[in-house]
Amino acid sequence: MTHARREELVRVARRFDALVVADDVYDFLSWGTAHSSDSISRPPTRLVDIDRVLDGGPQDLFGNVVSNGSFSKLIGPGCRVGWAEGTDSFIHGLSQA
């Protein structure tokens, strides 16, 4: 997904007060394809990072994007380690569940 398309997705989520759960496990892996017109291949900007800064940042304390990450697929399928990343208020609320 291009950067412009990712920004539009965050704007749509904000407009409809929706939560986007981004499975970012593979975002930092390179498959030999350039992600931009530059000669240097860079990983795409994650949706959670776009939500942090787009149009001055989240419209409320919780934001509209949460990212999940995992070492399970990177280190080994038997190792179940993961995390969630979002705004401070969203993560605090998630930790209370």
What is the chain's pLDDT, residue by residue, as a tens digit (97 residues)? 899 999 999 999 999 999 999 988 776 666 555 555 555 566 778 999 999 999 999 999 999 999 988 766 556 667 777 889 999 999 999 999 7
Q: What is the pTM of this model?
A: 0.77
Domain ranges, ordered by start, for the chain = 3-96
The pLDDT of residue 97 = 72
The pLDDT of residue 83 = 86
The residue behind tokens 């291009």 is 2
Order of strands, sheet of 20-23, starting from the edge strand that comes earlier in the sequence? 20-23, 65-70, 82-85
CA distance linking residue 85 with residue 49, whole number of Å: 10
Tokens of 15: 């407009």
Selected from 3.40.640.10, 3.40.50.300, 3.40.30.10, 3.40.50.150, the CATH number assigned to the domain covering 3-96 reads: 3.40.640.10
CA distance linking residue 63 with residue 59, whole number of Å: 7
DSSP helix/strand/coil, 68: strand
The pLDDT of residue 81 = 78
Q: What is the DSSP letter of 71?
A: S
